Amino acid sequence: MAKEIGIGLIGAGFMGRAHSNAWDSVNQFFDLPRHAGMNILAGHHSEDLAAFARTWGWKQHTTDWHSLISDESVGIVDVATPNNFHREMAVAALQAGKSVVCEKPLAGTLEDARAMRDAARKAKRKGANAWVWFNYRRCPAVAFAHQLVKSGKLGRIYHVRAQYLQDWGGPETPLLWRFIGKEAGSGAHGDLNAHIIDMARFITGDEFSEVSGAIQETFITERTLPDGGGSAISGKGGARRKKTGRSTVDDCLLFLGRFKKGAVASFEATRLATGNQNANRIEINGEKGSIRFDFERMNELGWWDHTLEPGLRGWSRIMCTDGEAHPYVANYWPAAHLIGYEHCFTSMCSDMLRVAAGRKPVVPLPDFEDAYQTQRVLHAAVRSAKERAPIRMSQVK
């Protein structure tokens, strides 16, 4: 087996940068049996791909993603493009015998997600892997919460309370692809609820049985057309045209859920929660204890030990930076030398390379089967909002 595995990245935007950094730094921070080779970058002809490739260390660049997929030097195709491209690119790569790691949500529609899941099943028989960038699983605090639940520390789970609140989607934000239904599939829902649905499934190890009570709203229906540039997610500060266009996605979507083992849950995703910039939060209450996490303080995990005598109970703030106890951190810095957003991507690259070498990931990697389950929940919530009715997961194939 070649020691180096060639990476081909499609997309040179926000995630293109995050993934480039991760593929580069994984070789330095982790001592792995296989290394990542940053072989080819594919992007849009409107972008300065030569400059991007130079900055981030890609050996070649192209505007033809098909040629990247067929290139012999590429073993893993990394899809970091808008959601409507995920199916075509990922399926083509899997059919070419490549492993794939695709951005979330798996797709804009359940139909596309199902086709991707089916392609991944076929490719798996030939040894290819298909993963999804649910990067928050690899925050050490989240991975540790998963381990705590698995070891029975929380006991029976009663409640899951998850929110993903951002505030960049106000009227000043232009009509980026994220607001166009045909390109994004949905708005805050697919973008943000996808993350917290995955996180809830990952930490509890449980699956949804029903979704109900969903409401969605589009507050800002008309936005100015962008003309390039501006900040990574929102395009703020970039050029604008005078013309406006219609937003065809939700700005927020809230729903309730039930899990198979009996827990009840609430989820809220919005781009208009002024004062909350990346508040990806989850609290889980069990019979023996509770955990809570907020990405804005990503190095910490809140822990409540309900087995203590009542007078001694209280929330502990666990600094998840102990290399002996907390996943991944031993590969970075000494205790309480904090890590950031980018490390979750690097840690995910390390687990993919570990699996490519026949080893187990530190905590489970989200694959297309897994992301398809999350997509079913997304779909059920949209149906619940439209039909104003509960949707049993058995109704969503």
Ligand X SMILES: NC(=O)c1ccc[n+]([C@@H]2O[C@H](COP(=O)([O-])OP(=O)(O)OC[C@H]3O[C@@H](n4cnc5c(N)ncnc54)[C@H](O)[C@@H]3O)[C@@H](O)[C@H]2O)c1
Applying CB under 6 A, which residues contact ligand X?
A: 10-16, 42-44, 47, 65, 80-83, 85, 103-104, 133, 135, 191
CB of 342 to ligand X, least distance (A): 11
DSSP run (H or E) holding 19? helix 14-29
Distance of CA 88 to the CA centre of its chain: 19
Q: What are the CA-CA distances from residue 233 to residues 166, 237, 268, 373 (Å)?
A: 11, 11, 19, 26
Q: Which of residues 259 and 345 has its CB atom nearest to ligand X in the complex?
A: 345
CB of 123 to ligand X, least distance (A): 20
Q: Which of residues 10 and 339 has its CB atom nearest to ligand X in the complex?
A: 10
Q: CA 293 to CA 154: how far, in whole Å? A: 15
Q: Which of residues 85 and 372 has its CB atom nearest to ligand X in the complex?
A: 85
Q: Which of residues 42 and 214 has its CB atom nearest to ligand X in the complex?
A: 42
CB atoms near residue 100 (< 10 Å): 29
DSSP result, 186-238: SSHIIIIIHHHHHHHHHHH---EEEEEEEEEE-S--EEEEE-S-S-TTT-TTS
Closest CA to 229 of 247, 221, 245, 241: 241
Amino acid at 50: A
CB of 158 to ligand X, least distance (A): 29
CB of 56 to ligand X, least distance (A): 12
CB of 265 to ligand X, least distance (A): 21
CB of 216 to ligand X, least distance (A): 18
CB atoms near residue 206 (< 10 Å): 18
* Percent of the chain as helix, strand, coil, to the nearest 5: 35, 25, 35
CB of 42 to ligand X, least distance (A): 5
Q: What are the CA-CA distances from residue 346 to residues 19, 76, 237, 350 (Å)?
A: 8, 15, 29, 6
Strand partners, 76: 7, 99
Q: CA 318 to CA 232: how far, in whole Å? A: 31
Q: Which of residues 82 and 169 has its CB atom nearest to ligand X in the complex?
A: 82
Residue of minimal Cβ distance to ligand X: 13
Structure tokens at 315: 């929330």
Give residue for tokens 């389950």. 373
CB of 180 to ligand X, least distance (A): 12
Q: Which of residues 277 and 395 has its CB atom nearest to ligand X in the complex?
A: 277
Q: Which of residues 8 and 286 has its CB atom nearest to ligand X in the complex?
A: 8
Q: CA 190 to CA 326: how far, in whole Å? A: 30
CB of 348 to ligand X, least distance (A): 9
Q: Which of residues 229 and 262 has its CB atom nearest to ligand X in the complex?
A: 229
Q: Which of residues 198 and 206 has its CB atom nearest to ligand X in the complex?
A: 198
